[in-house]
Amino acid sequence: MAAKPSIPKGTRDFSPVEMAKRNYIFNTIRDVYHLYGFQQIETPAMEMLSTLMGKYGDEGDKLLFKIQNSGDYFSGITDEELLSRNAAKLASKFCEKGLRYDLTVPFARYVVMHRDEITFPFKRYQIQPVWRADRPQKGRYREFYQCDADVVGSDSLLNEVELMQIVDTVFSRFNIRVCIKINNRKILSGIAEIIGESDKIVDITVAIDKLDKIGLDNVNAELKEKGISDEAIAKLQPIILLSGTNAEKLATLKNVLAASEVGLKGVEESEFILNTLETMGLKNEIELDLTLARGLNYYTGAIFEVKALDVQIGSITGGGRYDNLTGVFGMAGVSGVGISFGADRIFDVLNQLDLYPKEAVNGTELLFINFGEKEAAFSMGILSKVRAAGIRAEIFPDTAKMKKQMSYANAKNIPFVAIVGENEMNEGKAMLKNMETGEQNLVSAEELIAAIR
């Protein structure tokens, strides 16, 4: 007996219903990106390992899926190298390519390769899968989609403002209530500077980023463990616990960071973004949150994160401002700002809150029952008109028992069924049955279209 097939851990099959839901997510995000003037690009699933290696740190390099060279990949390798069993060294000889780990590094490579064709500022979006050789667990997959949008080649804070409007528009269309959290890397640098621990900025921000999860006492204990002085920790307390409106927080920060030029610059940038958004009439809450410290080694200005208010789940969107995106490929000075929607987490939130619109997840709207050759030929004429009107419709391909055909309609949640027998053909009409109410009416092709619409 043949072994039962399986798929690699950390990957998934998606059913037609799940695909309809996922496409609703992707199409909604894509439509909003277009609304704001972003253009779509795609990059290959595999990149040269020389492009990917060294861009994500040592841990990231370990999580890259490497692709074995085709042909005789043993040529040029000595017996000594083979017997050394040095996996990393051998992989570098066996493999020249790898699956992309994210969309950002391929985007940087794309900008450098196509710099002469690109009009700056360049507003691009990308909705594609990425792969990570991570340990699969709940909510963490080895293959998943990212939905990125970036503006490169512009320092204007209007880009940050528009990205926050995109976030607000997308989640308003999904009917998901969210809180958009904003911070600035420069504010965090200023805080580290005024408490006299500039060299410990990463340790400080990694610790305060955990405030929601582990509480203030544990954050302070972690800071102490990292060698930060009691005096510095004491100075941090009012900053970590800063509360009030966004305007009140900004006013306090201006005083606290008065001696830090970089800190005040971060406050000024945040104030511009928040004040401009206030005039835009956002539907969702936006909050200045000093404990937000995502991707600190990467971001250089504003940082964003989005939390769903009605479901317990991690961040569902994130992003920020970065400098020198393309520097690793020899093209210095290209600043950018971007966001990434977490499609898989949004999928989970929409499922939990049952927020998918019926028209987004329903497939076929009308099924024609097949009673035989003549009836099917007559039905096909009406079917052409129905499809021309934009209604998703099909005919059961085989002459089968009525019960089997109706079961098919029920299994696929088809809301209407058209029944065409001898009497209906004589009148040039069809019997339209509403599967939800059971109501039946004899209708012409035009009336049938109007009834379904």
Binding residue ranges for L-histidine? 102-104, 132, 146, 150, 294, 298-299
Helices 445-452 and 373-388, interaxial angle, to 10°?
50
Taking the CB of residue 157, how many other CB atoms lie within 10 A of it? 18
Provide the residue type at 227 as one letter: G
Please say whether the beta carbons of 272 and 160 come within 8 A: no
Distance CA 365, CA 377 (A): 20
Sheet holding 440-443, edge to edge: 393-395, 366-368, 416-419, 430-434, 440-443
Q: Is 438 helix (H, G, I), strand (E, B) or coil?
A: coil
- Only one residue has tokens 């898989």, namely 344
Distance CA 90, CA 77 (A): 8
Q: Which helix (H) or strand (E) holds 81?
A: helix 79-84
Strand partners, 412: none
Strands 393-395 and 366-368: parallel
Sign of CA dihedral 43, 47, 52, 58: positive
Helices (H), 354-421: 358-361, 373-388, 402-411
In the numeric block, which tokens belong to residue 277? 């958004």
Residue 446 burial (10 A CB sphere; 0-12, 13-18, 19+): exposed
Taking the CB of residue 309, how many other CB atoms lie within 10 A of it? 10
Annotated binding site: 102-104, 132, 146, 150, 294, 298-299
Please say whether the beta carbons of 66 and 91 come within 8 A: yes
Distance CA 253, CA 330 (A): 37
